[in-house]
Structures are given as structure tokens and as C-alpha cells.
Amino acid sequence: MNHDYNYYNTAIKNEALPLAFVDVDFLDKNIKAIAERAGNKNIRVASKSIRNIWTLKRIFEANKKYQGVMSFTGAEALFLIEQGFDDILLGYPIIDKNQIRNICKLTKTGKKIILMTDCISHASLINSIAEEEQVTQPICIDVDMSSDFLGLHFGVYRSSLISVRDAKTYITQLLNFKNVKLTALMGYEAQIAGVGDTNPANGIKNFAIKFLKKKSIPEYTQRRKEVIEYIKQKCTTLEIINAGGTGSMEWNKVEDGVTEITVGSGFFSPVLFDYYDNFKHLPAAGFALPIVRQPKDRMFTCLGGGYIASGSVGIDKQPKPYLPEGVQITENEGCGEVQTPFVYNGKQSLKIGDAIFFRHSKAGELCERFNELYLIKEGSVVEKTPTYRGMGKCFL
């Protein structure tokens, strides 16, 4: 499958630029490949890395292994229920009382929405609202999966349940709450799932990352195992034991106890997901900017492009020129707020009006910059589908 510059150029030749697109043929291949990578585990779809209803539906229609959404806010979870989705695990705690109340009301009607917690203040807030609503609200606990090696923190700071002992204490305390039920356990090993092995921006740090990943896997696996055993002893069996992300599937799929793996970024497969040794997915999303000026020979300027990704500031957070080959962003200006200059040393004879294709460094954030995604299939635009933003929704 060769989707080169001419392929995309022909597909969008009648469309106004800038635009964001999804290559549906590549997306479908990624959906299939991710289902295979999961082995016999289910996959929960991380909506933050998609932010488009059409794509979410396409994933669920493709394979029965795709079960449930990991949502990123309470408002988004409520929106997804309105859109016809069910089985939603909130990936992060929420403290908005109205949203918790509305979720409890939906629980009462039989919808499955699980709230994330990692401390007593989360649990007692949910419990008090669930009590008022006369419902038992399912909750999940998030146990930290990062590793500390000789004072070096390898992972992220999220949950307050850092050790097995922290988790045990919290699980025991939860038994005192009558209107919440512990039904799920989540542990997100961000240092494996979200850190590439060969990101050029990390330079020689990549050697250390590889070493630390190897060291971290058995360490957090043991922690998760002990927490699972304790929950089994103390309460009922858990419905869901959720782990991982796009970058860690190969380890999650062989881990006993884990029932499902969360995956989001792998479907669009943005630039930061090019840098893993354990898989390669196809670049299924991007955006096209028009050349509007030519300041000098071999140098052009596009309209738009400053769609920098979140996280620690670094060169790898800016979009990467994709097609045609030979486009190079300047160090001084990068991807600009409304203008992106580039040097061109490729084979095309570019001119004002031509499109330049870029890929975002992350997956879902592209959809916060465009109202629509143009769906390209077998060489032409077959449909335009609104992003969350295009539906008037901005959750974070």
C-alpha cells in the first residue's frame, strides 16, 4: 500500500485547506493489528486519543475484542452515553458534584460507568452523592505503576496509591462505604506504554530508557499481582483489571490477571508512536496545509501549522512534515502560530497553492484544532466527520 504525496494530493485536490484527514485504509489496518497484538485480552478504547465519534464507532464495529471506552472527563462520559456508548471507565478521577450525580443517575438506569479513585476523598464524595441518589456506584482504583530506582523516578505522578501497602489500606477503607462498589483496578505503566525506544529527541537517553523499561516490568507486575490477590481475599472478584496503553501491549497481554488493555494512540498512530521497537502501526491521521508564500528559492511558507502537542516542552512535540519527502521546518520558527516556513529539497516542483502534509506528534489533540476529519478511502475523500470540537465539545 503506497500512500505517497500524489495519492493524498489527488484525494484532496478539490478541498479547501487547511484540513485534517484520516486515512481509513490505514486506520482499518491499525484496528486489525491492535486486535491481534492484544492476544486474548479485551481492549478498552482511550477516547482522549481519538476525539471523534465516527472513529470510535468504526473501532467497535470491527472486532468484538474492543469492549468499552476509557473516557477522560465526566462531561465526556455523559456525552458518550448520549451518543449511544456504554461501558465507560473514567481514566481519571473527577470531583464535579453535578457530573458525579448525573453519572449516578445513569448507573440507576442500568448504564455502566465506572468512576476512578485513588483516595478517601474521592470515595467519600462519590459515596455521599450515590447515597442521596440511592444507588451503588461502581468505582475503580488506580494503583501507581511507576518504578523508583536509586532515587530516579521512572514513570508519572498520578495516583496516591504508590505501594502495595497504600493500596491495601485504601481497599480496606473502601469496605466502610455502602454506596460504592469496587469493581475495577487500573494500573497505567506510562513509562512503558507512553515512552518510545528510539525517539531522536531523547538522544543517548534512549539506552537508559531501554534498560529501565526492562527493569521496571517485573517490578510493577509483582505489585499489580499482590494488589489483585488482596482484593480477591478482601472483597469480591473484580470485573475489570485494566492495564497499559498502545506501547505496552506485548507485556500486558501475557500478564496473568489483566483482563483488558487500554489503547488509543495506536489507531491514528501519530509521530511519537513511530519510535517503539515492539510494534509499527501505519500513519492514519494527518493534516494538510496550503503553501501561501515563497520568501526565497527552496523556501516556502504554509498557512497554519502551530499545533504543538502537550507534555514537557521539546522539539518532538511539534508536528512533523510528512509528504512530500524533503520538507524541513526551520529551527528558528518551528511550526508557527499562523505561518509555517520550510526549506524544501525534494523532487516535487512546489508552488503557491500546493498542499504540504504533516503528522501531529500525538493522537487526539489534532482533533482540537479542526472541526472535521476528512475520511480518505481508496484514493478519495468519502466523507467528512465532525471532531468533538466540530460538535461544539471541548472537554479539556
Please, which residue, 311 or 379, has the CB nearer to ligand PLP?
311
Instruction: Tell me which stretch binds ligand PLP (CB under 6 A): 51-59, 60-68, 103-111, 188-196.
Output: 188-196
Site for ligand PLP in 332-371 (CB under 6 A): 363
Please report whether residue 49 would count as binding ligand PLP according to CB under 6 A.
yes
Min CB(266)–ligand PLP separation in Å:
6
Q: Which of 264, 270, 304, 324 binds ligand PLP (CB under 6 A)?
A: 264
Please report whether residue 196 would count as binding ligand PLP according to CB under 6 A.
no
Please, which residue, 160 or 339, has the CB nearer to ligand PLP?
160
Please report whether residue 137 would count as binding ligand PLP according to CB under 6 A.
no
Please, which residue, 155 or 245, has the CB nearer to ligand PLP?
245
The answer to whether 17 and 332 are in contact (CB under 8 A) is no
Cα separations (Å) of 18 from 168, 389, 391? 52, 16, 19
CA atoms of 246 and 223, how far apart (whole Å): 21
Q: Which of 24, 125, 263, 272 binds ligand PLP (CB under 6 A)?
A: 263
Please report whether residue 265 would count as binding ligand PLP according to CB under 6 A.
yes
Please report whether residue 262 would count as binding ligand PLP according to CB under 6 A.
yes
Packing angle of the helix pair 120-132, 97-108 (nearest 10 deg): 60
Cα separations (Å) of 357 from 41, 200, 285, 372? 35, 21, 10, 16
Please report whether residue 268 would count as binding ligand PLP according to CB under 6 A.
no
The answer to whether 22 and 375 are in contact (CB under 8 A) is yes
Min CB(360)–ligand PLP separation in Å:
13
Q: Which of 34, 81, 104, 193 binds ligand PLP (CB under 6 A)?
A: 193
Please report whether residue 46 would count as binding ligand PLP according to CB under 6 A.
yes
Please report whether residue 245 would count as binding ligand PLP according to CB under 6 A.
yes
Min CB(46)–ligand PLP separation in Å:
4
Please, which residue, 70 or 174, has the CB nearer to ligand PLP?
70
What angle (nearest 5°) sits at the alpha carbon of residue 182, between those of residues 179 and 186?
A: 140
Instruction: Tell me which stretch binds ligand PLP (CB under 6 A): 97-105, 258-266, 275-283, 296-304.
Output: 258-266
Q: Which residue is nearest to ligand PLP (CB)?
A: 245
Please report whether residue 73 would count as binding ligand PLP according to CB under 6 A.
no
Min CB(396)–ligand PLP separation in Å:
12
Instruction: Tell me which stretch binds ligand PLP (CB under 6 A): 107-115, 262-270, 295-303, 366-374.
Output: 262-270
3-state secondary structure of 297: coil
Grid coordinates given for 120: 478517601
3-state secondary structure of 57: helix
Please report whether residue 246 would count as binding ligand PLP according to CB under 6 A.
yes
Min CB(378)–ligand PLP separation in Å:
27
Please, which residue, 102 or 252, has the CB nearer to ligand PLP?
252
How many CB atoms lie under 10 A from the CB of residue 302?
A: 27
Interior/surface letters 157-190, b for 16+ CB within 10 angstroms, e for the rest = ebbebbebebbbebbeebeebebbbbbbbbbbbb
- How many residues of this chain interact with ligand PLP, rule: CB under 6 A? 15
Please report whether residue 220 would count as binding ligand PLP according to CB under 6 A.
no
CA atoms of 195 and 210, how far apart (whole Å): 10
Q: What is the DSSP string of 231-251?
A: HHHHS---SEEEE--GGGHHH
CA atoms of 364 and 360, how far apart (whole Å): 9
Min CB(244)–ligand PLP separation in Å:
6
What are the E-state strand segments in the chain? 19-23, 42-46, 66-71, 88-90, 113-117, 137-142, 147-149, 152-154, 180-187, 240-243, 260-263, 285-296, 299-303, 320-323, 327-329, 339-344, 355-359, 372-377, 380-386
